[in-house]
Structure 1
Amino acid sequence: MRFFSRALSRATLVALAATLVACASNEEQEDTDPLELTEINEKVELREVWSRGIGDIDVKRYAMLKPAIGAGRIVAASSDGEVSAFERSSGNRLWETELDVPLSGGVGVGLGLAVVSDYRGRVVALNLDDGSVVWEHQLSAEVVAAPAVGSGAVVLQTVDGKLFGLDAGEGTELWRHSSTLPVLTLRGTAAPVISGGMVFAGLDNGKLIALDARDGIPRWEQRVAIPQGSAELERVVDIDGAPVVRGDLVFAASYQGRVVALSRNDGRGLWARDASTNHGVDVGAGNVYLSDASGSVYAYNVGNGQIAWGNDKLLRRELSGPAYFGDTVVVGDLEGYLHVLDPATGELIGREQIDGDAVRIPLLVDGDLLFALSDGGELVALRLERR
């Protein structure tokens, strides 16, 4: 697990990790190995439609450069500053823009823009049609999650605990919202989501907040996780996955905390269950799906939060967050495999390796296509076929 600290130095964290490993028994150390894959009864196939190399992904900085889709094209960014747009169905490159700065956050698409950001907090909005620069804006700190674009605004979260709303047309600041940061957090922040004129964002302090997209006025905030224990490591409760809005509900999950269903209007809790993940959840077929920190995949009933099933066949394989796709659930792993699960039972029903490098960047679903971006910079479009 990767941590970012504002009170402890990196050297201190490395020393702490080394001490913990040294104290572990041989048996405990063996349990850190990824579970080996076994044969499965493959009932579906993820067939590659097209693939393109988009450039390097900065694994050392844990870059989570999620692509985005809009106007029939998918836009992807590399860590070395290349932003490319491809035709969704064919993979034909429509344009490429070289920004000459290391990019850190993923891509946000909407309102005719493709928006990216860098490690210095600079935001760049590109014209979605041709890749030309429309505007730039400087934020207070590094951005490591994709922006949200909609309701006339571009919304970004920085690692210093701030949410910024920028005017989508000009890039000027509309509002900002600050939150108190814990001493120790995971390396990463949650991508905000805009829905129905509201911004939903998960924070490093374990809270989910809803703001007005145009003026940043808070509508409500709700605690997803409560820090437990006396050690700072035990009290890390970041929400690092984007919330999911479905109808009148918002779903979110935290590290060392809970997975919850809340009312989108007032934040009132419908249900909450203990969970731990540094990814987002997904929703489909009456369930909420979550891949936890250990590598287990769970399904929770949308209505009451009861566990419908759990699958522990992928333990310690550093899973990506789940994606509901074509009436299946798909997760990526550290060896470039995509695993397909039955949403009703959790049974593994398909497997496809798309690259030798890990697939941990959030998967993207658009209609009949699933898009996966590996740490090796391979962007792959896949279609689901029944055997």
Structure 2
Amino acid sequence: MRWSLLAVVAVLAAACSSAPEKPKPAPLPTVTGQLTVQKLWETSIGSVTTPLIPSVKGTQVAVASTAGQVAVLDANTGKDIWRLNLNASIQAGVGGDGQRFAVITGNNEVVAMEAGKVLWRYALSALSYTPPVVAGQRVFVLTADRAVTALDGATGQKLWTQQRASDPLILKQAGLLMPFGDALLAGWGGRLASLNPTTGVVRWETLLGASRGTNEVERLVDMVAGVSRLGTTVCARAFQSSVACLDGNRGTNLWSRSAQGHQGVDGDDKLIYGAESDSKVVAWQRSGGQVAWTQEALRFRGVTAPVVLDRSVAFGDDNGWVHFLSKQDGQALQRLSTDGSAIMGRPVLAGQILVVVTRTGGVFGFRPE
């Protein structure tokens, strides 16, 4: 209950500190049409009132609804591989390795599934808004009290827990938790840590986002979901603080730049892409962090975290548009509509298919040519 109240306080305080009226969105930019994108299929999962991040493995994509539907789809066709109703609200998910999948319910239970059936349930002692990580025959969970817990993938038995001191307020959105070679990377406040996935022993911790401001809300800092990995380099965002890249093996900070966004990033071998909280899109040089270009044509449109494609970088927005910007200079190449409701979570790439999920539960598959 304490963590639930604190999470609500964080959200309400942030809302109260914002402008009384939402700024008017920028006019939709003219697209060049230099990119052809084909809509392949459309299906439904049910209403998604909070971002539930899909899980991708090869050409499979797992999606979930707030009311408790979980479906694993063939990204090429949009057809169900299997679908399951958990009869419980879902708070975070989906995590999966292609065989086993896991979500966290509104009752603070980790639910593991395989082939359309529930394998086990595990009750957490704290809230979690981060999708579980399913890897190496284990399920890893990051909770709001800065604890990482490892569960046996077959039985749900707890294997270990590692925790750091928590902050007075928590961020009510997905944090950073991901496998990295033979390690597990986890965000603890403004720090990124590398853990031994077998024992939970911390190998290193690096500060990426420093707390600042005059009150607890302004000082709130945490690592957010959505990173760019290339070789041993990991680039990530600290909430309303910075974007930074580091060596994922040693934890050495390569560069850090002040940034005011709250969504994750993505990147390629040259650039890191992300959006500021006003939806201004920024591209940073991967090698040194210098700003390569900015695009203000989507300001105040509530854009999502990006996903990098072959020729473009794609963002969803609050009105159900999917925007395709040039990776080279941010020019608007193409724009497609979905069902008019907000794109939830971030777009994901399954094979060659871009998959987006909307607030009303629409699931759409697009193929950029």
Q: Normalising by structure 2, what TM-score?
A: 0.93
1:30-74 alpha-carbon deviations (Å, 9 max, x no partner): x7222221323221132111111101112xxxx221111236422
Task: Answer yes or no: is 1:43 the counterpart of 2:34.
Answer: yes
The equivalent of 2:343 in structure 1 is 359
Distance across 2 between alignment mates of 1:9 and 1:378: 28
Give the match's secondary structure for 2:218: helix
Distance across 2 between alignment mates of 1:161 and 1:229: 21
Q: CA deviation at 1:8?
A: 8.9
The equivalent of 2:222 in structure 1 is 238
8 Å CA contact 1:151, 1:197 repeated in 2 = no
User: Any residues of structure 2 matched to 1:5-24 within 5 Å, and which?
Assistant: 10=9, 14=12, 17=15, 21=19
Give the match's secondary structure for 1:360: strand
Distance 1:191 1:98, change over 3 A: farther
Task: Answer yes or no: is 1:217 the counterpart of 2:192.
Answer: no
Q: Which runs of 5+ in 1 are unaligned?
A: 23-28
The equivalent of 2:95 in structure 1 is 108
Counterpart selection for 1:206 from 187, 190, 200? 190
Relative to structure 2, which stretch is displaced further, 241-250 or 332-341?
Answer: 241-250
Task: Answer yes or no: is 1:347 the counterpart of 2:334.
Answer: no
Q: CA deviation at 1:190?
A: 1.1
The equivalent of 2:55 in structure 1 is 68
Give the match's secondary structure for 2:343: coil
1:319 counterpart letter in structure 2: V
The equivalent of 1:176 in structure 2 is 161
Give the match's secondary structure for 1:166: strand
Q: Which runs of 5+ in 2 are unaligned?
A: none
Q: CA deviation at 1:202?
A: 2.0
Counterpart selection for 1:320 from 304, 329, 333? 304
Distance across 2 between alignment mates of 1:317 and 1:242: 19
8 Å CA contact 2:6, 2:168 repeated in 1 = yes
8 Å CA contact 2:60, 2:98 repeated in 1 = no
Counterpart selection for 1:86 from 47, 53, 73? 73
2:239 counterpart letter in structure 1: Y
Distance across 2 between alignment mates of 1:304 and 1:320: 24
Task: Answer yes or no: is 1:167 the counterpart of 2:158.
Answer: no
Distance across 2 between alignment mates of 1:291 and 1:180: 29
1:90-124 alpha-carbon deviations (Å, 9 max, x no partner): 11122221111001111111162011111222111
Distance 1:104 1:343, change over 3 A: same
Relative to structure 2, which stretch is displaced further, 270-279 or 65-74?
Answer: 65-74
8 Å CA contact 2:57, 2:350 repeated in 1 = no
1:321-361 alpha-carbon deviations (Å, 9 max, x no partner): 01101221001111000111111111111111112111131
The equivalent of 1:26 in structure 2 is none
8 Å CA contact 2:131, 2:174 repeated in 1 = no
Distance across 1 between alignment mates of 2:228 and 2:176: 11
Distance across 2 between alignment mates of 1:112 and 1:8: 32
The equivalent of 2:135 in structure 1 is 150
Q: Normalising by structure 1, what TM-score?
A: 0.89
Identity percentage over the alignment? 27
Q: CA deviation at 1:285?
A: 4.2
Distance 1:278 1:21, change over 3 A: closer
User: Any residues of structure 2 matched to 1:193-342 within 5 Å, and which?
Assistant: 193-203=178-188, 205-342=189-326
The equivalent of 1:380 in structure 2 is 364
Distance across 1 between alignment mates of 2:18 and 2:325: 34
RMSD, aligned CA:
2.2
1:199 counterpart letter in structure 2: L
Relative to structure 2, which stretch is displaced further, 233-242 or 267-276?
Answer: 233-242
Distance across 1 between alignment mates of 2:152 and 2:197: 10
Q: CA deviation at 1:270?
A: 0.7
Distance across 1 between alignment mates of 2:205 and 2:304: 27
8 Å CA contact 2:224, 2:236 repeated in 1 = no
8 Å CA contact 2:230, 2:268 repeated in 1 = no
Q: CA deviation at 1:5?
A: 8.0
8 Å CA contact 1:105, 1:116 repeated in 2 = yes
Q: CA deviation at 1:14?
A: 4.8
The equivalent of 2:45 in structure 1 is 54
